[in-house]
């Protein structure tokens, strides 16, 4: 498959014209326009009152019948009977309030392929994504990323890690960033390769560096930039790429040891000195004890995506091995082409079930420990734990409110068990990102859901037609 890498000259022509406009300038694009962008709600002052508050902070713990005070996007206080005379009161009775859920690995652009992966090798996920990825336009990229992000917010996911491996030109990267910005979600955009990029073709770091500089000029922006290189087993210039990424200060995320055909990639990375706290590996499904030890010693984290790892035939997630070695573990959606949806509650339940099944113990992974993977440990893996991941005064206000007044939640027992074993996205009544209420009364507040769905469908029809994939 032929691709279209970003050219240095092309990027700097655009950067020169838009650099003075900051982040909003680089994200503006005549191809995408503004017709799809909703108006994000303003940050306001409010107090959620009388909720069961799971702070996910080791010092604060859980607080029954308690309040969370938010002002100007920041958590001001957590406690009982908080005094806030100018704040709007939000009734938290019969709800659980906890930090927003954090996804640490998701190819958002593949959201148009929901459950499209077929029943034969020729119609499977990898042929599907390569063929249809080539047929994408920047507008398709925008619609796909927005579609995925809308589902994330609806499901209670307040941070996503967009591992974008279909960046076919500058406009594609801009379109993805624009979609993330328009929805108001917190995100890392990991700048990747494109589908079927030739292994001898070098990564264009000039464009990545310029994009990084433009993004860091906007201190209040919810987006950060990472690097998503090709696997070390298929790309021979990996040393150059990792060195360049580290010079730019970019966190690195790479698929590794995903299946038996890709075994011992971690061993190679360890020998080459590539592992470290700035590195996140994805899947690590087939690992040796020595490799797990190398991950632990280097501080490398691992994102597990249980539904795609099992549905795609990679194998069972290695959560027990990683936990035993004290490797930092977090959770991801990966792709709804295989996972079907972006249900982080189901992902938590799956990882607990797999961990306990492999250990042959009901008690190997507790629901509370699993909940940490989707909150504070996810924040640690994304290097944003100083800002989000727990409900602690001084942190940014990323939180969700889950109703217990539904048939699947109606008997309140242990909150952690209830969330991991019983909760569903439909139970999420309110979602707050950086102090903005983006879902309230079970409805998204900043997006026209019908339009998001309609335009995603239109793009899929057009992409399949261009790719001749029926």
Cα 34–Cα 36–Cα 37 angle in degrees, nearest 5? 70
DSSP class of residue 139? H
State pLDDT tens for residues 56-96.
999 999 999 999 999 999 999 999 999 999 999 999 999 99
Q: What is the pLDDT of residue 21?
A: 35
CA distance 251 to 227: 6
Q: What is the pLDDT of residue 390?
A: 99
Three-state DSSP at 60 gives: coil
Q: Kindly list the domain boundaries of the chain, sorted by start residue.
A: 101-381
Q: What are the pLDDT digits (tens) for 377-412?
A: 999 999 999 999 999 999 999 999 999 999 999 998
d(CA 222, CA 54): 24
User: Residue 195: what pLDDT?
Assistant: 83
Q: How far is it, in rounded angstroms, from Cα 156 to Cα 178?
A: 21
> What is the pLDDT, as a whole number, of residue 38?
60
Confidence grade of residue 448 (pLDDT, cut at 50, 70, 90): very high
Each residue's pLDDT tens digit, 192-201:
888 878 888 8
Distance separating alpha carbons of residues 457 and 272, to the nearest angstrom: 44
218: left (phi over 0), alpha (psi -120 to 50) or beta: beta
- The CATH number given to 101-381 is 3.20.20.140
pLDDT for res 35: 40
Distance CA 347, CA 344 (A): 5
Burial label for 34, CB within 10 Å (0-12, 13-18, 19+), is exposed
pLDDT of 8 higher than 70:
no
3-state secondary structure of 34: coil
């Amino acid at each position: 498959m032929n691709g279209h890498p970003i050219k240095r000259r092309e990027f700097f022509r655009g950067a020169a014209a838009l650099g003075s406009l900051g982040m909003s300038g680089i994200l503006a694009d005549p191809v995408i326009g503004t017709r799809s962008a909703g108006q994000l709600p303003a940050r306001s002052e409010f107090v959620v009152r009388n909720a069961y508050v799971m702070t996910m902070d080791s010092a604060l713990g859980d607080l029954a019948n308690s309040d969370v005070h938010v002002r100007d996007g920041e958590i001001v206080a957590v406690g009982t009977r908080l005094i806030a005379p100018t704040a709007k009161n939000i009734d938290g009775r019969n709800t659980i309030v906890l930090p927003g859920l954090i996804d640490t690995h998701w190819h958002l652009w593949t959201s148009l392929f929901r459950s499209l992966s077929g029943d034969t090798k020729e119609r499977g996920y990898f042929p599907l994504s390569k063929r249809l990825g080539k047929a994408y336009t920047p507008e398709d990229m925008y619609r796909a990323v927005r579609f995925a992000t809308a589902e994330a917010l609806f499901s209670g996911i307040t941070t996503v890690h967009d591992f974008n491996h279909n960046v076919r030109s500058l406009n594609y990267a801009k379109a993805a960033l624009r979609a993330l910005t328009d929805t108001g979600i917190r995100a890392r955009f990991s700048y990747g390769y494109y589908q079927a990029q030739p292994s001898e073709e070098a990564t264009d770091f000039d464009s990545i560096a310029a994009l990084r500089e433009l993004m860091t000029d906007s201190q209040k922006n919810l987006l950060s930039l990472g690097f998503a290189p090709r696997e070390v087993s298929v790309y021979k210039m990996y040393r150059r790429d990792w060195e360049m990424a580290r010079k730019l200060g970019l966190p690195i995320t790479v698929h590794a040891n995903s299946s038996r055909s890709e075994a011992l990639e971690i061993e190679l990375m360890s020998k080459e000195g590539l592992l470290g706290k700035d590195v996140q590996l994805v899947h690590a499904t087939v690992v040796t004890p020595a490799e797990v030890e190398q991950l632990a010693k280097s501080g490398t984290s691992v994102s597990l995506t249980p539904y795609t790892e099992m549905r795609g035939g990679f194998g069972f997630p290695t959560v027990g091995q990683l936990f035993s070695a004290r490797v930092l573990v977090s959770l991801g959606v990966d792709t709804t082409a295989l996972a079907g949806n972006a249900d982080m509650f189901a992902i938590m339940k799956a990882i607990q079930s797999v961990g306990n099944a492999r250990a042959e113990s009901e008690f190997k992974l507790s629901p509370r420990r699993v909940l940490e993977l989707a909150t504070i440990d996810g924040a640690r893996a994304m290097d944003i734990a100083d800002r989000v991941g727990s409900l602690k005064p001084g942190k940014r206000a990323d939180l969700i409110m889950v109703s217990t007044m539904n048939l699947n939640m109606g008997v309140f027992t242990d909150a952690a068990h209830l969330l991991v074993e019983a909760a569903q996205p439909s139970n999420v009544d309110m979602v707050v990102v950086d102090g903005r209420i983006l879902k309230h009364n079970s409805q998204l507040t900043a997006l026209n859901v019908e339009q998001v769905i309609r335009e995603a469908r239109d793009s899929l029809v057009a992409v399949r037609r261009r790719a001749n994939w029926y």
